[in-house]
Amino acid sequence: MMSAHARTPAGKPRARAIGLVVGGRPGPLNAITDVPGVAVGYTTLIEGQGPLVPGRGPVRTGVTAILPRAVEDLQTPVFAGYHSFNGNGELTGVHYIAEAGKISLPVTITNTNSCGVARDATIRWATTRFAGAFDEDFALPVAAETYDGFLNDINGFHVTDAHVFAAIESASAGPVEEGSVGGGTGMKCFGFKAGSGTASRIVPYAGRDYTLGAFVQANFGAREDLTVLGQRIGAAFDAWQMRRGTPDRSLSSIIAVIATDAPFLPHQLRRLAQRATVGVARMGGIGRHGSGDIFLAFSTANREISGRSTPALLGSAWVPDEDIDPFFAAAAEGVEEAILNAMIANADMEGRDGNFVPAIPHDRLREVLGLSA
């Protein structure tokens, strides 16, 4: 299914369409939704132009929902782990992940000032969808954020409960749109337009193929650090940027979500989340002080991980630690390619006060990398 590898559902080119090939074997969609049961949904908010009027716009934001299991099965927890490469950001629920090693319900990603709205709205959605299930229980869903205030009226609080509900309800297990969509709408990388991106890898182990998928909301990096396929190339765009972009030194953050159907325990998923750092570093990210680089990993493999009404011992399968390296490599490759896709499947965007972020020019990028025909 090479068309899915090369183009998003809206027809935007992905990294492979312009000759940027990261190592490893992608899944059929080269997306986090290659992991069975995982779905992604968006609400994208783009409205207005001109000077900033807090509460009115311009609006360049949204919310992304990632469902670890099918909707009817979302109350079944998944083992999970997280890693904070640089903690100038937010990912809710991490204390419970550290304590119990599991999550349930949709994972949401949005802008910094709407993170609490996304978290609370997820609980409201769940109490309606699973009426009665939380009468004597609690929910600690994961919500994450990156800053979009360079383009967006972030203090206008434009993301509402209804937008979160819509992102969850629209979640699909098929091909995933990328670029300036969902929570990634107002984001940028290395001075270029970025946002939502995804990729996947197939990992053979013990006689079967497992899938690992990565999703990023990419909003990090200084221009001089930009590295693509091992080549540090940011300086090659300096003169071009002076003509096209609005100066901006805010460096912001990246959220990465890694999903797999391979069986892992929570401590192994924490280690898997750490390897997102390698994908970020391959792109030139160094975890600058102002960056919230926070990564989540979960496995859909083991289902019986919560107590029953009567006491009983539970059992889980897992890949031995000694055999985990191919999955580490897949996590690094998936995050690297997901970041590239977030940048390549994108377009110029003007936001508040005329602030302008250009898309990375594909022809110039290929020329710098020596890929020109």
pLDDT tens-digit profile, the chain (373 residues) = 459 999 999 999 999 999 999 999 999 999 999 999 999 999 999 999 999 999 999 999 999 999 999 999 998 999 999 999 999 999 999 999 999 999 999 999 999 999 999 999 999 999 999 987 766 667 899 999 999 999 999 999 999 999 999 999 999 999 999 999 999 999 999 999 999 999 999 999 999 999 999 999 999 999 999 999 999 999 998 766 555 556 666 668 999 999 999 999 999 999 999 999 999 999 999 999 999 999 999 999 999 888 877 888 999 999 999 999 999 999 999 999 999 999 999 999 999 999 999 999 999 999 999 997 6
Whole-number Cα distances in Å, 238 to 191, 193, 224, 235, 350: 10, 15, 8, 5, 19
Query: Would you state the structure tokens that stand for residue 357, as one six-digit string?
Result: 């972020």
- Residue 1's pLDDT is 46
> What's residue 326's pLDDT?
98
pLDDT for residue 175: 98
| Contact in structure between 22 and 198 (CB atoms under 8 Å) | no
- The whole-angstrom distance between residue 279's C-alpha and the CA centroid of its chain comes to 13
Helices and strands, counts by H and E, the chain: 9, 16
Residue 131 is predicted with a pLDDT of 86
- Residue 364 is inside which H or E element, if any? helix 362-369
Q: The domain spanning residue 194 has which CATH number?
A: 3.60.70.12
Q: Show the tokens assigned to 348.
A: 């110029």
End-to-end CA distance of the chain: 24
What pLDDT sits at residue 245?
A: 57
Q: DSSP assignment, residue 236? A: G
Catalytically annotated residue among 180, 196, 252, 253: 253
Q: Which of 34, 148, 261, 293 is catalytic?
A: 293
For residue 293, indicate whether it is catalytic: yes
pLDDT at 244: 58
The token pair at 122 is 């997820």
Residue 309 catalytic? no
- The answer to whether 259 and 213 have CB atoms below 8 angstroms apart is yes
User: Cβ(254)–Cβ(47) under 8 Å?
Assistant: no
Q: pTM higher than 0.85, yes or no? A: yes
Helix axes 325-344, 266-274, angle to 10 degrees: 50
Structure tokens at 232: 């540090």
- At position 342, the amino acid (one-letter code) is A
Sequence-ordered list of residues with C-beta below 8 angstroms from that of 27, at least 6 positions apart, any chain: 34, 200, 201, 202, 211, 213
Write down the pLDDT at residue 133. 75
Give the active site residue among 291, 353, 363, 372.
Answer: 291
255: left (phi over 0), alpha (psi -120 to 50) or beta: beta
Tell me which residue range forms the domain holding 210: 2-308+315-369
Q: Report the number of distinct structural domains present in the chain.
A: 1
For 246-266, give one letter per residue: b (16+ CB within 10 A) or e: beeeebbbbbbbbbbbbbbbb
Residues 6+ positions from 242 with CB-CB distance below 8 Å: none
Q: Can you give the pLDDT at residue 252?
A: 80
For the question of residue 252 being annotated catalytic, the response is: no
